[in-house]
Amino acid sequence: MIFNRRVFLFAVLFWCWTFSFVPAQSASQAPVAAQGEHRKTSEPYTGDLSIFDSPGRDERLQINRVMDILGVTSGKTIADIGAGSGWFTVRAARRVGEGGVVYAVDINPESIRYIGDRAQKEKLKNVKTILGKADDPLLPAGAIDSVLLLKTYHEVSEPVALLRNLRAALRPGAKVGIIDRNGNGEDHGVGRDVVLHEAAQAGYRLLEHYDFVKGDKMDYFLVFTLKP
């Protein structure tokens, strides 16, 4: 009987000692990504660029309303980051006129060539192309009034660094628009909350948000400006 009690007492003491070394973790704590770990992104598109000029896209995205919100008006300087085929570039170029400039930025050399040829064919002398980097759009300092990343953000592998490096190019009061669809990063979409978090990390604050750019509400349109 004495032996059994000693065994029981020893077991209890051992359990208490072991448990005391287990770090407490609240159920509300979410796993923290390892330093340097990047979120999932979609592979940048490298196929036929003409598919972006599908009929009716202007109406589906309500691109004129988008440009109104971003202040794309005569004489302004605009950046189209992830310009692809230049679909938005040429529309913005017509809006800003000869007194304005549109920088078409892409990391794909084929897109840059395509947009250059397109601007020449459409006689848009106010379009300038930039072969950017994954973490830097390489835009001129203090030059940009408005920016649009149209269905591109989910492909950006260094989103926080890109937005941070964009800051120096922005004029006071500049607006940065991001149009994308909800997704997991790998399915040509990225969660709205992810964009909000990354933009905040890069020093931006949300100015306006809309969901009119897609009838099924899967797409969102976020407008940021620099934090004071």
Q: Which pLDDT score, from 0 to 100, does residue 160 have?
A: 97
Q: Give the pLDDT confidence score for residue 88 in this predicted structure.
A: 97
Q: Can you give the pLDDT at residue 48? A: 63
pLDDT score recorded for residue 28: 27
What is the predicted pLDDT for the residue at 3? Answer: 40
The Cα–Cα gap between 215 and 212 comes to: 7
Distance between CA 120 and CA 26 in Å, rounded? Answer: 60
Task: Indicate the pTM of the whole model.
Answer: 0.80
Residues 225 and 207: beta-carbon distance below 8 Å: yes
Pick from 120, 91, 88, 94: nearest CA to 106: 88
How many CB atoms are closer than 10 A to CB 151? 21
List, edge to edge, every strand of the sheet that includes 101-106.
127-131, 101-106, 77-81, 144-150, 170-181, 219-226, 204-210
Give the model's pLDDT for residue 43.
64
Nearest alpha carbon to residue 192 among 167, 165, 217: 217
State residue 97's pLDDT score: 98
pLDDT, block means (10 residues), the chain with 228 residues: 42 39 32 47 62 79 96 98 96 98 97 97 97 97 98 93 98 97 78 95 97 79 96
In this structure, the strands spanning 204-210 and 219-226 are antiparallel
| pLDDT at site 189 | 85
